[in-house]
């Protein structure tokens, strides 16, 4: 983007020959096509193989609707939690210096590289009937795993770093001069945050939320461990896809999967749009 806008230097040695250029572009596109586009195409082809009617029926089927609702509910709880956490974490990490920062950032990243299977397992260890807290909760009539709270917890865990990780570098780059100036001019802390910081980070924030949301809706491994797979009750969309697939109901499985794929695509489009708006706004 901004490289392209700079005046191209005359010397050929800072540019590739046009043949080389075309070759590199072609190679990049082939990689994208093979590794990213084809898997996408497969989903839609399989989903629509039996026609639109089957596709729509699969999505409108009561169990599918229940799964879609549960997924929406889960994301609606998990994303705001991680959003507030992300802002708080980024505020103290990016705007202040303190000992143990590396460790803190590493711990925030941890859920990202923990195997989803382990993420589910730790909640079973804690809240399972044989776990440490499970019997206590069960005694009070509260069911955590194999019920909606467990699914929400696992989702929160898996999507934990997304917003924070997006905001930390962004806020670090922006430094703290603007906020300090506002405070000097007599603005309150909250006012400074709302008027100065938030506008500065809003695009990054939105992008983080979008990724967090996409991941929250699509998580399979961790949720699978804590869900109990009760049809119509604790099945999320990805689990419903697995069930349909296991029932030899391929068209329906891919149809429901395509919903999540569409969501991913909408997320990506929104993100591209945001990046574009952001670039225009800042003029960089």
Partner 1 sequence: MVRPRAASRPHTLPGFGLALGYTLFYLGVVVLIPLAGLVFKTFTIPWADFRAAVGAPRVMAALGLSFGAALVAAAIDVLLGLLIAWALVRYPFPGRRLADALVDLPFALPTAVAGISLTTLYSPNGWLGGFLNTLGVQIAFTRLGIVIALIFIGLPFVVRVVQPVLQDIEVEQEEVAACLGAGRLQTFLRVILPVLTPALVTGFTLAFARAVGEYGSVIFIAGNLPMVSEIAPLIIVIKLEQYDFAGATSVALVMLATAFLLLFAINVVQRRFRKRFWPA
Partner 2 sequence: MWIPEVFRKVSGLLVGVALLAGGTGTFAASVLLNVSYDPTREFYQEINDAFSQHWRHLTGETVTILMSHGGSGKQARSVIDGLEADVVTLALAFDIDVIAALSGLVPADWQFRLPYNSAPYTSTIVFLVRKGNPRGIRDWDDLVRPGVAVISPNPKSSGGARWNYLAAWGYALKRWPGNDAKAEEFVGRLFGNVPVLDSGARAATMTFVQRGIGDVLLAWENEALLAVERFGGDRFEVVLPSVSILAEPCVALVEKMARKHGTEVLAQAYLEFLYTPDGQEIAARHFYRPRLEQIALRYRQRFPPLELLTVAGIAGSWRNAQTRHFADGALFDRIFQQRR
Residues binding partner 2 (CB under 8 A): 61-63, 65-66, 69-70, 73, 124, 127-131, 134, 138, 141, 143, 145-148, 228-233, 243, 245-248, 250
Nearer to partner 1, 37 or 136 (CB): 37
Residue 246 binds: one of partner 1, partner 2, none (C-beta under 5 to 8 A by kind):
partner 2
Residue 57 CB, shortest distance to partner 2, in Å, is 13
Residue 49 interface partner, choices partner 2, partner 1, none, CB cut-off 5-8 Å depending on type: none
Q: Which of 62, 113, 141, 283 binds partner 1 (CB under 8 A)?
A: 113
Residues making up the chain, counted from first to last: 284
> CA-CA distance, 166 to 82, in Å (whole number)?
12
39 binds, among partner 2, partner 1, none (CB under 5 to 8 A by kind): partner 1
Residue 65 CA, distance from chain mean position:
22
Q: How far is CA 257 from CA 43, 53, 70, 222, 251, in A?
A: 7, 16, 15, 18, 10
Residue 153: count other Cβ atoms within 10 Å of its Cβ.
24
Residue 117 is a binding residue for partner 1 (CB under 8 A): yes
Q: Considering only the stretches 56-64, 135-143, 227-235, 265-273, report the one whose residues sit in contact with partner 1 under the rule CB under 8 A.
A: 265-273
Q: Is 176 helix (H, G, I), strand (E, B) or coil?
A: coil
- Per partner kind, with CB cut-offs from 5 to 8 A, the member of partner 2, partner 1, none near residue 151 is none
- In 3-state terms, what secondary structure has residue 144? coil
Assess contact for 63 and 242: CB atoms under 8 A. no
Find out whether 69 and 265 touch, Cβ atoms under 8 Å. no
Pull the structure tokens for residue 72. Answer: 């929406």
**Interface pattern 46-75 for partner 1 (x via CB under 8 A):** x-----------------------------
Closest CA to 241 of 2, 68, 123: 68
List the single partner that 107 binds among partner 1, partner 2, none, CB under 5 to 8 Å by kind: partner 1
Q: Which stretch binds partner 1 (CB under 8 A): 18-26, 49-57, 62-70, 138-146?
A: 18-26
| 141 interface partner picked from partner 1, partner 2, none, CB below 5 to 8 A per type | partner 2
Residue 9 DSSP class? P
């Amino acid at each position: 983007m901004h490289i392209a806008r700079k005046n191209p230097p005359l010397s050929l040695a800072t540019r590739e020959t046009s043949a080389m250029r075309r070759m590199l572009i072609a190679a990049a596109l082939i990689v994208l096509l093979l590794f990213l586009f084809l898997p996408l195409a497969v989903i839609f082809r399989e989903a629509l193989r039996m026609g639109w009617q089957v596709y729509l029926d699969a999505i409108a089927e009561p169990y599918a609707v229940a799964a879609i609702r549960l997924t929406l509910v889960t994301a609606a709880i998990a994303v705001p939690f991680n959003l507030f956490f992300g802002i708080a974490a980024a505020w103290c990490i990016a705007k202040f210096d303190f000992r143990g920062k590396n460790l803190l950032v590493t711990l925030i990243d941890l859920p990202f590289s923990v195997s989803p299977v382990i993420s589910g397992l730790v909640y079973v260890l804690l809240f399972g009937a044989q776990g440490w807290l499970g019997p206590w909760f069960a005694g009070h009539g509260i069911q955590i795993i194999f019920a909606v709270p467990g699914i929400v917890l696992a989702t929160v865990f898996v999507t934990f770093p997304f917003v924070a990780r997006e905001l930390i570098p962004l806020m670090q780059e922006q430094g703290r001069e603007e906020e300090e100036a506002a405070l000097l001019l007599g603005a309150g802390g909250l006012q400074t945050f709302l008027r100065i910081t938030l506008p500065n980070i809003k695009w990054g924030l939105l992008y983080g939320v979008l990724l967090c949301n996409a991941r929250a809706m699509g998580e399979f491994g961790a949720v699978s461990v804590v869900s109990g797979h009760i049809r119509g009750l604790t099945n999320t969309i990805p689990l419903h896809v697995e069930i349909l697939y296991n029932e030899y109901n391929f068209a329906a499985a891919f149809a429901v999967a395509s919903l999540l794929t569409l969501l991913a695509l909408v997320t990506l489009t929104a993100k591209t749009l945001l990046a574009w708006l952001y670039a225009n706004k800042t003029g960089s």
